[in-house]
A and B are shown apart, each in its own frame.
Chain A
Amino acid sequence: MSDLSIVTPDSVAQLSDREIRRSIRRRWVTRTSILLGWGAFIGIWYILSDIVFRDPRLPSLHLVLQRAGRIIATPGFGSDLGNSVLRLLGGFLLALVISSVLGLLIAYSDWWRNLLQGFLQLIVSIPTIGYAVLALVLFGISPIGPVLTTMLVSIPYITLNVAQGIAGVDRRLIVMSEAFGRTRKQIARDVLLPSSLLSLLSGARLAFAVAWRMELLSEIFASSQGVGFQIRSSFERYDTQAMLAWTVIFVALMLIFEHLVLRQIDRWASHWRSAEPSATR
């Protein structure tokens, strides 16, 4: 009735005490070195602001943080931040959709692969400031420029990862789907994309890191609202404290997003891998 090849808890290898101790020690070493890195950053900032320059050109870190607190408390803050985040997400989501399609095309056809690979390499090699300036020239002060540039710089990373993921799909699963009469569309949606999802997500992480910097930069050049705009207008008022405060706020938010949200999505997408073996049967 039941199989003999049952996975029992005992068959899972146990770590020895020494291995456990070593892995704990390694974790502490990692944590301390991260803290040291942060400490060094703060230390260098204080040396520069309080010893080298000692003037408003470079305010002390605690003044910047206090200013950041005051900025966050102002009523207009939400709309500036919201604007930036919406544009960023808009551009990024557009990139996700377009890249999934382009990735499929690359995986399916040599013609598309040759065409797109050269094109995408070109996109990546142009410095982001080039896009920011071009967007200003083409679209003037409007949300279109930031959204499009954010989308454009994200596309290569996601596309190439999707294509790579699809190329690595188990051919036998595709034959299975065909044998059961699944259509090309169903196979793309239910087999190719899910099995390249993890690869897509790691592309999305790379792309996001580029995307939010691009978004900020193009707002600095071509926007009348948003965090980038606030950075530019603080700069024009020679208010470095506000400029740095806005930067700190946005960078902190993006880092938190990258590390918490994107990592959670990764974990969710791979939950079927870490599912516990059933011990009951």
Chain B
Amino acid sequence: MATVLIENLTKVFPPTANQPNQVQALGGLNLSITGNVLVAVLGPSGCGKTTLLNIVAGVEQPTSGSVRSVQDGVPAHISYVFQEPRLLPWRTVVNNMIFVQDRKSDRSRREAEFYLSMVGLGDVADLYPSQLSGGMQQRVNIARAFLVNPDILLMDEPFSHLDALTGRSLRDYLQKIWSQTRKTALLVTHDVNEAVELADRIIMMRPGGVIFDDIPVNLPRPRHPSNPDLQFLQNDILRRFDSMEAAVRFGVG
């Protein structure tokens, strides 16, 4: 069973050319995730979501605090769905998939094609990324993350660059492929809709990289956006954000 344990995590970025002051991206974050759950981290843009994922993925170092990701006592194997497709433009779709595989074998291609077909892209394996629409490229991004059979799956607003209809159809693909694999997953998003539709648990974050609320979502899958329970939950979450803002504004939080 996979576990992510985050303790007192902070990240401060030094001043840069376009921002004269240092930025506190994460302000002492504590979080523990365990088991085959999909956890959403919900918060407005700039609140430190990408920074959090980058630190969990190990591509960025924290200023202080610790992150431990373990699977049965050993370091967990992590994969990442990025906000943009991040495909190598000179490799075909299937070769982009094979690129992230550790052991290349005769089976590599078949495995890659299997995950491509899970997101409905069985027949574009030999095209180049530039030949696909944005939504199709993003599906490759998702398939690639599942291909490496990770213990923990990180997803950074994978639908935010797509138009609403394409985003919805991709969410369906994600629900399907996640339900079949049930990977421990951390999904970062600024979209309340998306969080209630996909997550088993929603963690709410505010600017400065601070968690202010954490609620379970016990609704059966597959969930449809028009489900009144989802609507109800969504309103509840929006209210929580409102009162957090009021509290911050009046210096109570």
Contact = CB atoms under 8 A, between A and B. Distances in A.
Q: Please indicate whether A and B come from the same complex rather than being unrelated chains.
A: yes
Interface of A: 1-7, 172-173, 175-182, 190-191, 194-195, 197, 272-273, 275-278, 281
B131 A5 contact: no
For the residues of B in contact with A, the DSSP-based class is loop
A180 B165 contact: no
Nearest to B60: A175
B199 to A, nearest CB: 22
A272 B128 contact: yes
Contact of B128 (A7, A172, A178, A275): A275
B100 interface: yes
A182 B163 CA distance: 32
Contact of B166 (A4, A7, A182, A281): A4
Contacts of A181: 102
16 contacts: A3-B134, A3-B166, A5-B134, A5-B163, A5-B166, A172-B82, A172-B84, A176-B80, A176-B82, A176-B86, A177-B99, A180-B100, A181-B102, A194-B88, A278-B131, A281-B133
A206 to B, nearest CB: 22
A182 B90 contact: no
Interface string B97-138: 001101000000000000000001001100110111111100
Given A176-B80, A178-B59, A277 B131 contact: yes
A7 B133 contact: yes
B237 interface: no
Nearest to B132: A278
Given A175-B86, A179-B80, A182-B100, 9 more contacts: A2-B120, A3-B133, A3-B135, A5-B133, A175-B59, A176-B86, A177-B99, A276-B131, A278-B132
B59 A278 contact: no
A275 B127 CA distance: 8
A273 B148 CA distance: 28
B57 A179 contact: yes
Contact of B124 (A4, A276, A281): A281
B88 A190 contact: yes
A190 B124 CA distance: 22
Contacts, number: 79
B222 interface: no
B69 interface: no
Contact of A273 (B91, B120, B130): B130
Most buried by B among A5, A7, A172, A276: A5
Contact of B79 (A1, A179, A182): A179
A155 B164 CA distance: 51
Contacts of A275: 127-128, 130-131
Interface in B45-92: 54, 57-59, 78-80, 82, 84, 86, 88-91
A195 B124 CA distance: 23
Contacts of B86: 172-173, 175-176
A199 B38 CA distance: 43
B8 interface: no
A6 B88 contact: no
10 smallest beta-carbon distances between A and B, as pairs: A3-B135, A180-B100, A179-B80, A176-B86, A5-B133, A278-B131, A275-B128, A272-B128, A272-B90, A3-B133
